[in-house]
Structure 1
Amino acid sequence: MEVASAIQLAVAPAFLLTAIGATLTVMTNRLARIIDRFRVLNEVRSKLSNDDLVELNMLRLRAKWTHWAIALTTLSALLTCIVIASIFIGTEIQFNFDQFIAFLFIGAMSALILGLISFTREVTLSKNVVKQ
C-alpha cells in the first residue's frame, strides 16, 4: 500500500518534469538558431557592416542568457528527479524525507524561476532584431 501512496506523491513532480523537458526543448532550439545566425555572420566577418557587428554582439549576449536559462532549467529538472527518487527511497527504507524533499522542491522551483527569468531576458533581447 505504501508504494501506491509513493506513486501518487510522485505523479505531480513527474508531470512537472515533462513540462520542464518541453521548456528545455524550446530553449535549446532558440540557442541553435542563435548559433546558426552567429556562424553565418562570422563566416563573412570581413564584409560586415556596423549593424552586423552590433548583431554579432547581441547574439553573443543572447547566447549567454539562453545558456543560463538552459543550465538553470536543467538543474530544476535534476532536482525534480531527486525529489521523485527520494519519495520512493523514503518509502522503501521507512525513513521520513519530508524536509529534504521540501528543500529539494523549493530548490527546483527556484532554479526553474531563475531559468525562466533568464529565458525572458533573452526573448526581450531578441526583440531588438526587429527594427521599427
Structure 2
Amino acid sequence: MDIKLSDIGHVIQLAIAPVFLLTGVCTMLMVLTNRLARIIDRSRVLEDRLEIGHHEGYMSELEVLDRRSHLINVSIALSTACGFLICLTIALLFLGDTTNLPLDRYIAGLFVCGVFALIGSFYFLLREIFIASKAMRERSHLRVRQAPRKTA
C-alpha cells in the first residue's frame, strides 16, 4: 500500500466540510444542554415550592417544562446521532482512500443521514422554543390580568 502525501492532503480537503458541520453540531449541543439545564433548574424551584405547599399554577408549569425537556432530549439525541454519523463519514473518507475500497456510497449515505438528523434536531428545538414562548406569553397575560388596577 503506497500512500502519497498528496492523496492524504486531498482527503483532508474533502473532510473539511464535514468537520465544519461537526463544529456546528457541537455548538448546537451546547445550546441544547444549556436550555435543558435551565428547564431542570426551573423544575427544581417549582418542585420545592410545591413541597412547601404553594400550588399557584405550578403543576401546569411543570407539565410544560416536562414537554419542553422531552423535546430538548430528542433534539440532543438527534444532534448526537448527527455528530456520530459525521465522524463515521470522516473516518470512511480516510479508510476509503488508504485502502482503495469503494466506500463512496456509504460515505454519501452517512453524510445525508447526518444532515437529516441535524434537520430533525432543529425541528425539535424549534418546537421547544414555540412551547416556551407560548408559556411565557400566557404567564405575562395572567400577570396583567391579576395586577391590581389603579383608580384615578
TM-score, scaled to structure 2: 0.84
Q: 1:65-122 deviations in whole A, cap 9, x for unaligned?
A: 0000000011001000000000001111111211001110110011000010000000
Q: Work out whether 1:27 is the aligned partner of 2:27.
A: no
Q: Work out whether 1:10 is the aligned partner of 2:2.
A: no
4+ runs deviating over 4 angstroms: none
Letter in 1 for 2:27: A
CA contact (8 A) 1:41 1:48 kept: no
Aligned ranges for residues 22-101 of structure 1 at < 5 Å?
22-45=27-50, 46-49=53-56, 51-101=57-107
Contiguous gaps of at least 5 residues in structure 1: none
CA contact (8 A) 1:62 1:126 kept: yes
CA contact (8 A) 1:34 1:59 kept: yes
State the identity %.
37
RMSD between aligned alpha carbons?
0.9
TM-score, scaled to structure 1: 0.96
Report how far residue 129 of structure 1 moved: 2.0
Paired residues, number: 131
Pair member with larger Rg: 2
The whole-number CA distance in structure 2 between the counterparts of 1:121 and 1:83 is: 29
Letter in 2 for 1:92: T
